[in-house]
Amino acid sequence: MAFARLEPYNVPLNAVVAEFIARHDARTRSVAFKTLFDRFIANKQNRSKAYLRALRYTLTHFGRLHDRTVCDIQPGDIDAEMHGMTPTVRNSYLRNLRAIFNFGVKRGWLEANPISRLDFEDVQRGEVVTLTPREAESLMLAANAENDLLPYHALGLFAGIRPLELQRLDWSNVDLAEGHIEITPSVSKTRRRRIIDVEPNLGTWLNHYIEQGGETVGGVTPSSNLRNRLRKIREAAGLDEWTQDVMRHSYASYWLAAHGDINRLTLQMGHESSVMLWEHYNRASTRKNAAAYWKITPPASASTNVVAFLHKH
């Protein structure tokens, strides 16, 4: 019966047996989907908390695949689990899954990455969202009431440092005497070092923070209850909606409008090419608004002399 069924395909019975044995052995070596995820996450413990949290969200969403052996999972199985997702969310899950399945391929738990046979969605980029000068000022005044979070907002708005980088940044890398901030590879999202100039109003805000008793040893950003505290500051500033990286976008838009030097901005933002920055931030702000933005300073009672500190480092 086996020979009769194979005859139309002109395939030797030995070839079919060999393929069965190979598949059987592969399944024996393979692991469950959840086991693959857990081992990948354990292997990435040096990555950011946000990245690890995103991985766990991904694992939770694909609950119906948890007990499936990874070598048996087909592209259609994954596609079915992502039905109805927005393009941005779908792409985010696909990126995470691609890395995880590649991890499994390298360890011999499956032969090919099923994500390679799925398409990423085209995401139309909208206009860059920035804070108005008035909104930025309200945010800084609200942060002024929480002095230990004042540097977080000042460095985000007036140096364009990413939120996760701010959480890793140490005061030893902020040099007001030289007028620059060093983003080291261990702090940088892209793992590349960059230097950011301290704008005059940023220096004034940091000096104001010090005059109010702010610490300049250790991490720049306090970690305790950070998310809730940031939300309360935004609420106090009247910012009902908050866009991811809006402080960084505001910095880039107003900096380019004020200085017009796209190459220098590219270096300070830590990008490899100026093309994307030019497309996003050219004429994203008027010079008038940029001038108002860079004049945002602490309450009039604060001293405006920028002092050199951190010599202890």
The string of pLDDT tens digits covering residues 237-280 is 998 888 888 999 999 999 989 998 988 988 988 887 777 677 77
Candidates 309, 311, 268, 294; CA nearest to 176 is: 309
pTM: 0.62
Q: Where are the domains of the chain?
A: 31-117, 133-293
The CATH-assigned architecture of domain 133-293 is Orthogonal Bundle (1.10)
Give the model's pLDDT for residue 33.
96
b/e map 45-60, b = 16+ CB within 10 Å: eeeeeeeeebbeebbe
| CATH dotted code for 31-117 | 1.10.150.130
pLDDT digits (tens, 9 = 90+) for 33-86: 999 999 999 999 888 777 888 888 899 989 999 999 999 999 999 999 998 887
Among candidate residues 144, 162, 157, 141, the one with its CA nearest the CA of residue 293: 157
Domains 31-117 and 133-293 share a fold: no
CB atoms within 10 A of CB 131: 23
